[in-house]
Structure 1
Amino acid sequence: MVTRSLRFKKLVAASVLLPFASILCHAQESANADLDSCVVQEQTILTAKGAGLGVVAGLGAALFGKNKDDSIKKAAIGAAVGGAVGAAAGFATAYYTAIDTCYKKNPSWIPESKIERTKDYARVKKEIRYDPKRDGAKTLVSKIDMPATAKAGDKIDMASRFIAMTPDGSEANVAFERKLTVIEDGKETLLPFPGKVKEDRTVEPGENIETSRLPIPAEAKSGTQYRYEFAVSMAGKPASVAAQTVTVQ
């Protein structure tokens, strides 16, 4: 009888929870679809602005052309150059700028990074020989785990492993800062990070892993590199920083 009763309760719970799980899943898919649509729209606007500037530049140069054909050629070249300039450091700048614009318009779309505790206070204290009186509040980013290579259009996880230690073993109030840089043809360009650039979080003392997700532009050229930089600080002390790079295949 107990077994049947338990099974019945589980079935009832499942029948109640499954619709909610379905609703949450659908909501997430809908939010992702809305973000994708917004990004495409913003990219189109950015590209149009760049092309427009190119046309103006081309027409300006065309005024000094010797003949009509010369003027038409210069205007066309100006439009082409404008389109390239509009993309700035390539499609990457337009893509991440579009995401940043969409997040500013819709703050609820900004993804929350995941934090998971991996080692407790006592274990980390022993491993790094932490001295509360000597070290005080201490943070340290040991490494960032992320793929070395990715394909255009991929979404990769970036797991940053860090420690946060407080003298009395209480929860740690830490400050995160994230940076993203594209390296293309030997040139480095700082990009808007697709998420929260700076934020304060309260974590359990010890070792934690913070995981963020990076979407790679579908138009990313093979050989393009993206460098992710993650920094953690606490109690006004200098930040501990680590960086890792992914290369588009």
Structure 2
Amino acid sequence: MKFLSTNRMMRFIEARFTPGGELGLHLTAGVLLMVLATALFGMLAGAVMGQTGIALLDLRVSQWFNAHAAEPLAGAVALFSQIHSVASVALLSALLGWYFWRRRERYWLLALVFTIPGGMLLNVLLKYVYQRSRPVFDAPMVDLASYSFPSGHAAASTALYGFLACYVVMTARRHGTRVLAVLLAVLMVALVATSRVYLGAHYLSDVLAGIVESCGWLALCITGCSTWRRRRAAAPPNRS
């Protein structure tokens, strides 16, 4: 009995780390990323609410950026940030959805709908849960009345560029193309997050929480849609 139990466990573990199959490596990696993102977001939220850890750096980082902000860089950063607003990301997502619809890539279209509109709704709900005020300065570069935690710009850009990176990684044939897509996605998200702190729109912990939130949500959506697609592909054809 003990041998059978051990053998069954080894088969289960092997199946979880096998690239192929409907419940293989992609599902394991997706679940692990969701768990990690949830844990990191919980740590950030706890630090913000308790004013401990990284939250102690928030004010100093924001004040440093505010003191060193100057034209013409400030104007360029503001324009870059505006391009990555939630409305702009929604427009880009609509164009991307049209592209998938034209190519009849329904699984990617479904994943897109869940990832970006769903992720933005989650971000709004989290803002109202935590209700953190924006940074306040004597001479602010932006004046916003909405809540600060987690950052909507950081969450939206992570969802968009993360989704695009996932699409390239799962469809491109060349390894170099996949690596480049991931690196570009990381760079763009980092630039958007930095722009929000530079402009005084968010604290450092806000943008980090927005990134982590979207990483977890993206993992959930991509893993869910990918698992569904693999299950349908593995199902025997209906002969009726």
Instruction: Specify if TM > 0.5.
Output: no
Q: TM-score, normalised by structure 2?
A: 0.23
Larger radius of gyration: 1
Q: TM-score, normalised by structure 1?
A: 0.23
Q: Which has the higher contact order (CA 8 A, sep 6+)?
A: 2
Which structure is higher in strand share? Answer: 1
